[in-house]
Amino acid sequence: MPLDDMRRWIGRSQTVEDFLAPWPAKALIATLDEHDPEPRMGDPLPPLWHWLYFLEAAPASKIGPDGHGERGDFLPPIELPRRMWAGSRFSFDGEPLRLGDTARRVSTIKSIEPKTGSSGSMVFVTVQHTLSGPRGVSLLEEHDIVYREAARPGETAREPKPAPSDSSTTRTIVPDPVLLFRFSALTFNGHRIHYDQPYVTGAEGYPGLIVHGPLMGLLQIELARRAAAGRTPRSFEFRALSPVFAGAPMTVAARREADGSLATWIANAKGGLAQQGKVTFR
């Protein structure tokens, strides 16, 4: 697809409204195994838990070969077959959304940028989400999506650089297929790389099921906000660097910085840096 045609999608927007019911929050607490109190109407929604709402529901007849909805509606019809969540940035300047709110998400395509890397051609699409509730705008999110070429025969990923070793708090998790399934179900994410072993190894050339980038981002800010109890996040960002595969332990880590922020990261089973981020506080 020519670049000029792709860029015609810039500025395209989509609005979704949803009722923030307690059940998805209750199910996520169980999925993360945090043993938190049962959520109730009026409770503030923790950072990133808005991903449980405003879900896309493409008809079965409109599903693409990777399990996502067909391209060319809201997102541009980029022809590169492999799609990944590359990273996100959040600003939490408003009042938090609360369970029981009727809320709105306005999504706008902000940029479309082709690039070339060691693995071939890529296209990065950035979508900006503005989330509002009864008390006004609650948060802004920028979501980076990367589209990549198909895997080449014999292609192997480069080993990531070592993760930092100076964390102040950590949590080790073994992301098994049940965890991946439950998170996919909660976010109505049909992407087959997270649950379809023959597809992810055969069609996309990865060695196993891939842990969701947003799941790892959620685990990063969950660790940070619990380590900084009583402080309210102002911003969060994370960037995916290398895939993490199901079945082997991964470590979620954070480190206090001199300016009061927390650096966060995910280390894979070999100690490689898979995802990195930063949380600032009000």
The CATH number assigned to the domain holding 216 equals 3.10.129.10
Residue 117's pLDDT is 74
Average pLDDT of the chain is: 93
- The two structure tokens encoding residue 110: 């902000």
- Judged on CB neighbours under 10 Å (0-12, 13-18, 19+), 147 is buried
pLDDT in tens, 224-276: 999 988 899 999 999 999 999 999 999 999 999 999 999 999 999 999 999 99
Domain count, the chain: 1
**What gap in Å lies between CA 233 and CA 90, rounded to an integer?**
10
Q: Is the pTM of this model over 0.85?
A: yes
Query: What pLDDT, on the 0 to 100 scale, is given for residue 207?
Result: 92
Question: Are residues 279 and 259 in contact, defined by beta-carbon separation less than 8 angstroms?
Answer: no
What's residue 253's pLDDT?
97
How far apart are the C-alpha atoms of 144 and 72, rounded to whole Å?
A: 17
For position 155, what pLDDT does the model report? Answer: 64
Which residues are CB-neighbours of 267 under 8 A, at least 6 positions away? Answer: 163, 250, 251, 253, 273, 274
Q: What pLDDT is recorded for position 218?
A: 98
CA angle 55, 2, 13 (to 5 degrees): 30
Show the low-confidence residues of the chain (pLDDT under 70).
1-4, 154-156
Tell me, what's the pLDDT at 152? 74
∠ Cα 153 157 161 (to 5°): 170
Give the pair of three-digit tokens for residue 267: 């280390």
Residue 269 tokens, joined: 């089973």
Hey, how many other C-beta atoms are within 10 angstroms of the C-beta on 246? 21
Backbone angles phi and psi of 257, in degrees to 5: -105, 165
Structure tokens at 256: 């206090």
**pLDDT reported for residue 151:** 77
> What is the extent of the structural domain holding 157?
3-281
